[in-house]
Amino acid sequence: MTDARKKLIRKERKENLKKYRMLYLMVIPGILYFIIFKYIPLFGNVIAFQDYNIFKGIFGSAWAGFKNFAMLFQHGDFVPILKNTIIINLYDLLFGFTAPLILALIINDITCTWFRKGVQQIVYLPHFLSWTILGGIVITQLLSPSQGMVNMLLQKLGMEPVYFMTESSMARGIVVLAGLWKDMGWGTVVYLAAMTSVSPSLYESASLDGAGKFRQLISITLPSIVPVIVTLFLLRIGHFLDFGFERIWVFQNASNTSVLEIFDTYIYKAGLQQGRYSYTTAVGLFKSIVGLLLLYSGNLLSKKATGEGLY
């Protein structure tokens, strides 16, 4: 590169900086936010390799190497917790991802506008309730053996009331279903938006050719929104293992802990309730690494299959 050219580039840069200085200024708070609240706290992860003592701090605590990780892998509950985390997340991915899609397809075919709007409003609603409230409703109003609606219905039908919350075999199902109730409606928003952008002329010509509603759905609607589906799926994969603490916590009780204990709740118990910071940071780090591997392989698969990926 000649000196003249370098000069030119430098000059251009300078002018650019001057011309767009407002835009550059506006970027600064965002960058600062990420540095201060996302990147600097990352260094806190070093306590996973220490015998962290809250009274001595990061700089005063002794180093422990991989002791905390070794403790995790040898822990009697490690395999069950990993298993629970993966199973619950798989269930949630399977049902939590497909249900909104199906619901959106159904809502999309409602032709009566006011009815469709009404249905949409109602299915969105539970999304705005917190897990604490929603969990309370599910446990005391729906599933309680003495006053729950489901059990009253069962009794009316001549069946014995079921103690849903104490049957460990049903615990995961309840968590996943409650999640569906809460977020299924909200999940339809993006799909419905994508469906409105499908050209109506496609449907018109299809029906002229004699294609029924179902045929139209399979051959027009679904293919048209495949990019949206893939993007949403990848975003979801990115949150795999991040099931969320609250959602499990509200449903956990003495009789179902063994099937509902996931990394998030375990970290809360061992870390915040029992004060084992180093150990739980190690657990969190391990979880992040597993999540990263899943994200990476999910993205790879998606690229091979559809040509689309997150990055």
Partner 1 sequence: MKAKRVTALLLAAAMAATAMAGCGQKEEGSKETATGVSESMEDAGDTKAESGEEDSGAQERAEGGQEPLKYSFSMSSQLNEYILQSPDINSDKWVQDFNQRYNTDVTIRLLDHKRFNEEMQMMFASGDIPDVVKCYENYTHEAMCHAVENGVFQPLDEYLADAGEKYPNLMKTIPEDTWEYNKYDGKIYGISVCYLSETSRRATYIRKDLLDKTGLDIPVTLEDTVEVLKAFKDLGVEYPYAGREKWSYTDVFFGAYGVNPLTWNLDKDGNLVPDMIRPEMKEALAFHRMLNEEGLMDPESLTTNSSDWLNKIYSGKVGMFDHNATQIASFNSSLKQNVPDGEFILIPSPEGPYGDKGAWKYSPVLETIYFNKDFKDVDRFLQLLDTMCTEEAQDYLSYGIEGENWTKENGEVKFEYPDSVLGEDEIRFRKFLGFIRDDAYDPRLTPYTPGGDQLMQWIEETGPKEGSENIDPGNLTALMNYPELDTGNCDLFYEMAAKIFYGQEPADYFDEFVAEYKSRGGDEIIKEATEAYQAGKVFLCR
284 binds partner 1 (CB under 8 A): yes
Question: Shortest Cβ distance from residue 54 to partner 1 (Å)?
Answer: 4
306 binds partner 1 (CB under 8 A): no
254 binds partner 1 (CB under 8 A): yes
238 binds partner 1 (CB under 8 A): yes
Tokens found for residue 303: 């690229």
Could you tell me if 280 and 271 are in contact, meaning their C-beta atoms sit under 8 angstroms apart?
A: yes
Dist CA 150 CA 227 (whole Å): 39
Pick from 82, 101, 134, 139: which binds partner 1 (CB under 8 A)? 139
Applying CB under 8 A, the span of 21-29, 32-40, 180-188, 194-202 interacting with partner 1 comes to 32-40
Dist CA 187 CA 7 (whole Å): 53
Dist CA 194 CA 65 (whole Å): 51
Tokens found for residue 170: 């049903």
56 binds partner 1 (CB under 8 A): yes
**Bridge partners for 62 per DSSP:** 51
Question: Shortest Cβ distance from residue 6 to partner 1 (Å)?
Answer: 25
Question: Shortest Cβ distance from residue 1 to partner 1 (Å)?
Answer: 23
Tokens found for residue 235: 């975003």
132 binds partner 1 (CB under 8 A): no
Q: CB burial class (10 A; 0-12, 13-18, 19+) of residue 164?
A: buried
How many angstroms separate the Cα of 233 from the Cα of each of 138, 223, 237, 242? 28, 15, 6, 15
Applying CB under 8 A, the span of 107-115, 198-206, 220-228, 248-256 interacting with partner 1 comes to 248-256
77 binds partner 1 (CB under 8 A): yes
Applying CB under 8 A, the span of 5-13, 149-157, 214-222, 277-285 interacting with partner 1 comes to 277-285
Question: Shortest Cβ distance from residue 255 to partner 1 (Å)?
Answer: 4
Range 226-257 burial, b when 16+ CB lie within 10 A, else e: eebbbbbbbebbeebbebebbbbbbbbeeebb
Applying CB under 8 A, the span of 90-98, 115-123, 199-207, 282-290 interacting with partner 1 comes to 282-290
Binding region for partner 1 (CB under 8 A): 37-39, 41-42, 44-45, 53-57, 76-77, 139-140, 144-146, 163, 165-166, 238, 242, 253-255, 257-258, 261, 267, 269-270, 272-276, 281, 284-285, 288-289, 291-292, 295-296, 311
